[in-house]
Amino acid sequence: MIIFLTVICLILILILSLILHDIKRITKDLNYINKNDTNGEVTTGTSLPIIKKLAQACNFNLNETHQLKEKQAIQNRQFNQMLTNLTHDIKTPLTVSIGYVQLLTQQSTGKNQRDLVRVQGNLDSVNYYLHYLMDFNLIREKSKNLSVTQFNLSDTLQKELFNYYDQLTAKHINAQIEIAPKVIVNSDEMMFKRIFQNLIGNILKYASNDMDVTLKNEDGIVKLSFENQTNENIHDSNQLLNRFYTADNSRTNHSVGLGLSIVQSLVTTLGGRVNLETDHNKFKVILIFKHLQTQKS
Domain ranges of the chain: 1-33, 87-141, 148-296
> Mean per-residue pLDDT for 174-198?
91
**Percent share of the chain, pLDDT over 70:** 86
**Percent share of the chain, pLDDT over 90:** 18
Q: Which of 128, 80, 163 is nearest to 259 (CA)?
A: 128
* 243 vs 90, residue with greater confidence: 90
**DSSP-derived secondary structure for 252-286:** -SS-HHHHHHHHHHHHHHTT-EEEEEEETTEEEEE
Q: State pLDDT tens for residues 6-49.
A: 767 766 676 677 777 778 888 888 888 888 877 888 887 777 78
Predicted local confidence at residue 237, as pLDDT: 57
When mean pLDDT is compared across 146-155, 247-256, 283-292, the lowest value belongs to 247-256
Q: State pLDDT tens for residues 88-129.
A: 788 888 888 888 888 888 888 888 888 888 888 888 888 877
Q: State pLDDT tens for residues 193-236.
A: 999 988 998 888 888 788 899 999 988 899 999 998 877 666 55
> Mean per-residue pLDDT for 65-93?
83
Predicted local confidence at residue 12, as pLDDT: 67
Q: Which fold has domain 148-296?
A: Heat Shock Protein 90 (3.30.565)
Q: Which of 148, 149, 156, 151 is nearest to 297 (CA)?
A: 151
Predicted local confidence at residue 207, as pLDDT: 80
Q: Is the predicted pLDDT of residue 238 greater than 70, yes or no?
A: no
Sign of CA dihedral 175, 178, 180, 186: negative
For the chain, the straight-line distance linking the first and the last C-alpha, in angstroms and rounded, comes to 89
Beta strands in 36-130 (DSSP E): none
From residue 259, alpha-carbon distances to 60, 242, 264 in Å are 46, 9, 9
Q: Is the predicted pLDDT of residue 264 greater than 80, yes or no?
A: yes
> Mean per-residue pLDDT for 264-291?
88
Q: Among 13-17, 169-173, 255-259, which range has the highest average pLDDT?
A: 169-173
